[in-house]
Amino acid sequence: MISGGSSPASLVDSHYLSVMTVSDISAYGLVIGGSLVIILSYFANLLAKRTNIPSVLVLIGMGIAIREGLNAMGLNSIPFESLVLELLGTVGLIFIVLEAALELELTREKMPLIIKSATMALLALLGSSAAIAAFLVTSMDMPLFEAWVYAIPLSIMSSAIIIPSVSGIAANDREFMVYESTFSDIFGIMAFYLLLGNSAAESTNSIILSIGTNLLVTFILAVIVSYVLVYVLQKITSSVKLFLSIAVLLLIYSVQKLLHLSPLVLILIFGLMLNNHRLFFPNWNSTRKWLKFLPSPAKLLDDHRMHELHRDYHLLTLETAFVIRTFFFVLFGMTVSLLALTDLHVITEGLIICCILFGVRILSLLIFQRKRLFPLLYIAPRGLITILLFFQIQGAYSEFSQPQFDQGILLVIILVTSIIMTIALVQNGITLRGMMLVPDMAHRDNEEGETSEDSVPEASDSEPAAEEPLKD
């Protein structure tokens, strides 16, 4: 018997509660926490579909709540924060660019749209970066080079937010926004790292020469490696080959990074080859009669295995990118301070940058999309890539970090651009849809849609546009 009527269980519980500190958080605690974050992120996507609230806002709010909880426990800093962010950033960039490349279908019919969207994305990126850099130099007395380092991430549209949000708009506008946001991600990431890779250049001519040489060498290596990797992968009969190829890509990416090349070009070309293998491995015997004496590249590949490989990679990148997006938005929420939103100076600067972004977008749309501006004008959110590159500035490239740029400005820009997009879509009568993670689900939906169309002769005018899923 224990005096005082206390049970052994109560004594044990009180003992652990009295001595538990932040250091007592075990691997199981991290697993539980990470699992809960992913589960809540899934429900955030469902919430976005039902209430028109972008999931990014829910995830950022989740990160803020976690930060407050950790502060209450006495944890003021995350152990190995910079290393974790850099590792997630490297893997995240690879999967995000690969996911984008797997969505780009290079056909003759789509080439005008691809060229148009790519040109607009590039010009909007350069125009926004130049205008924001000029503002940062003027208002914050930031050095010109560092101003460009900060301006490029702010000029990148978030395909992670745009693609699942525009599934209900007109088909032409939807396809244009998917391509534009994808190219904005790719061009922005490459421009950011090309700029940082030439930070020691002495003149503009040397920068141009260095970038040109860098891209040429990188392109040649990327094409060679991609051809070899695609050929070898479709020859492997073992079921364990996806992560093998990912390991090879990570290895080559890291080696090229150490050599100060542009490794994302490799990821882009590899993804394009997987999705457009017939274009990169043409049948010369039927299209090029003067090349009949040479073996046709099309004979090197098996179409059935290539389709299976593309399907597997598509599923892998979608699932992995979903997890990476989740943790990045949550981590961003953990790094921001709500007190920054009470600073009038921070809010003013964030709103000015938003005005610059939408001003450049108006000019771009007037040049490339003269027929209609609504709702395309307001679909320009900033999100994952912007946050990811800002983490890189604070971590791996901390020598370019500028303390006068408050983190709250980034939060204001993300919130304002996301809210404006949401209001525009709601006013246009569009229901936001959650991200479709499994391509087989899309296939089943297509089959069900075809069945229903056969059984029902006529449907309402609004339903087909709202329910048509994005094509893989």
- Residue 431 CA to residue 52 CA, distance in Å, equals 7
Say whether pLDDT at 2 is over 80: no
> Does residue 232 have a pLDDT over 50?
yes
* Exposure class string for 388-417: b at 16+ Cβ within 10 A, else e: bbbbbbbbebeebeeeebbebbbbbbbbbb
Q: Is the pLDDT higher at 189 or at 338?
A: 189
**Quick one: pLDDT band at residue 131, thresholds 50, 70, 90?**
very high
Confidence (pLDDT) at 345? 92
In whole angstroms, give the CA distance from residue 272 to residue 100: 9
Q: Across all residues in the chain, what is the average pLDDT?
A: 78
10-67: pLDDT as tens digits: 444 444 444 444 455 667 777 888 899 999 888 888 877 776 667 788 888 888 888 8
What pTM value is reported for the model? 0.76
DSSP string, 228-290: HHHHHHHH--SS--HHHHHHHHHHHHHHHHHTT--THHHHHHHHHHHH-HHHHS--HHHH-GG
**Helices assigned H by DSSP within 369-402:** 384-394
Confidence at residue 285, expressed as pLDDT on a 0 to 100 scale:
63
pLDDT tens sequence across 233-270: 888 877 777 788 788 888 888 887 777 777 878 888 88
Predicted confidence (pLDDT) at residue 381 exceeds the cutoff of 70: yes
Q: Among candidates 193, 157, 197, which has minimal Cα distance to 385?
A: 157
Question: Does 355 or 85 have the greater pLDDT score?
Answer: 355
Predicted local confidence at residue 141, as pLDDT: 94
pLDDT band at 132 (very low <50, low <70, confident <90, very high): very high
- In degrees, rounded to 5, the angle at the alpha carbon of residue 193 between the alpha carbons of residues 414 and 435 is 40
In tens, the pLDDT along 255-312 reads 877 777 778 788 888 888 988 988 888 876 665 665 666 677 778 888 888 888 888 8
Nearest alpha-carbon partner for 120 in 165, 61, 63, 182? 182
Tokens at residue 281, please? Answer: 């491995």
Per the CB < 8 A criterion, the answer to whether 183 and 156 are in contact is no
* Site of tokens 């893989």: 472
Amino acid (one-letter) located at 211 = I
What integer is the mean pLDDT of 191-212? 79
Q: Which whole number is the average pLDDT over 340-362?
A: 93
* Apex 224 CA angle, 220 and 227, nearest 5: 140
| Domains identified in the chain and CATH numbers | 33-435 (1.20.1530.20)
Three-class DSSP category at 189: helix
**Which is more confidently placed, 350 or 397?**
350
Q: For residues 300 and 276, what is the distance between their CA atoms, to the nearest angstrom?
A: 14
- What's the mean pLDDT in 96-118? 85
Tokens 């991609």 correspond to 226
Distance CA 262, CA 32 (A): 37
The structure tokens listed for 255 are: 């080696």
The residue with greater pLDDT, 358 or 385, is 358
Residue 120: pLDDT band (50, 70, 90) is very high
Query: Is the pLDDT confidence value at 142 over 90?
Result: yes
Q: How far apart, in whole angstroms, are the C-alpha atoms of residue 325 and residue 327?
A: 6
